[in-house]
Amino acid sequence: MSTTDAVTFWDGVHAARPADTEPRPNTRLTETAADLAPGDALDLGCGGGGDTVWLARQGWHVTAVDVSAVAVQRLEALAGALGLADRVVAERHDLQETFPRGAFDLISAHYLQTPLELDRATVLRTAAQALRAGGRLLVVDHGSTAPWSWDQDPDIRYPTAREVAEGIGLNPAGWTVERAEAARRTATGPQGRTAEVIDHILLIRRAA
């Protein structure tokens, strides 16, 4: 699948939704980052921008990336409207080809799952290597299919957090798995619809 196809697909997904003026952050991000000292964060696959906005409001300087130009442009406009432009940099990247420059204290990859071709293990390995000493990589994946998901394949299998960690293949001398588990929560979808879903949560810390 070419970069052009990926951009077209995700631009279409975001363009079909109205721009959100107050996007919600992901629960697993807020519970993980609430007690961390603010620093430099990277939001991989920023989408509607809920995680980026929340982090910026907590004092983080956030680099937010997405393959969709629609998502990036909307986030730039939203950050400006909320007075967060000095804490948010939004960039378009196809993560298989380019990766944002810099070193980070927190890297968040929430639901970085796609029906298109993506070498996720390499992307996440690159992310882990972009952590500063003591920094954390938080990877949260779908562990179940929500009723409103665009992918309703009944045969889909979601890798466990441990399987994702093994796929990344980091040296235990340099990175420690602090959390690898499945957790249930009640999610809210379009039109306020709710359902119980499963998250696969992986938290990796780079050695100090």
Return d(Cα 99, Cα 83) in angstroms, integer: 26
User: In the 8-state DSSP scheme, what is residue 180?
Assistant: E
Q: Is the pLDDT of residue 8 over 90?
A: no
Q: In what order do the strands lie in the sheet with 194-206?
A: 88-92, 61-66, 40-44, 104-110, 131-142, 194-206, 175-188
3-state secondary structure of 26: coil
Query: The tokens 């070419």 sit on which residue?
Result: 2
Contact 43/90 with Cβ under 8 angstroms? no
Which residues lie closer than 8 Å to 138 by C-beta, 6 or more apart? 28, 29, 32, 33, 106, 107, 108, 109, 110, 201, 202, 203
For the stretch 110-120, pLDDT in tens is 999 776 778 99
For the stretch 54-72, pLDDT in tens is 999 999 999 999 999 999 9
Q: Which of 13-17, 105-109, 144-148 has the highest mean pLDDT?
A: 105-109
pLDDT given for residue 1 in this prediction? 42
Compute, in degrees rounded to 10, the torsion defined by CA atoms 61, 65, 68, 72.
Answer: 20
Q: Which tokens belong to 23?
A: 């996007």
Can you spell out the DSSP letters for 125-161?
Answer: HHHHHTEEEEEEEEEEEESS--TT-S---TT--PPPH
Q: What is the mean pLDDT of residues 33-46?
A: 97
pLDDT given for residue 7 in this prediction? 80
Sign of the dihedral through C-alpha 68, 199, 142, 131: positive
- Among 8-12, 35-39, 43-47, 203-207, whose mean pLDDT is lowest? 8-12
Q: Which tokens belong to 153?
A: 């394949």
Compute, in degrees rounded to 10, the torsion defined by CA atoms 199, 98, 170, 128.
Answer: -70
- Rounded to two decimals, the pTM is 0.92
> Distances in Å between the alpha carbon of 130 and those of 26, 200, 203?
22, 22, 15
Q: Is the pLDDT of residue 99 over 50?
A: yes
pLDDT given for residue 92 in this prediction? 96
Return d(Cα 68, Cα 89) in angstroms, integer: 15
Q: Mean pLDDT for the chain?
A: 93
40 residue type, one letter: D
Domains along the chain?
3-206 (3.40.50.150)
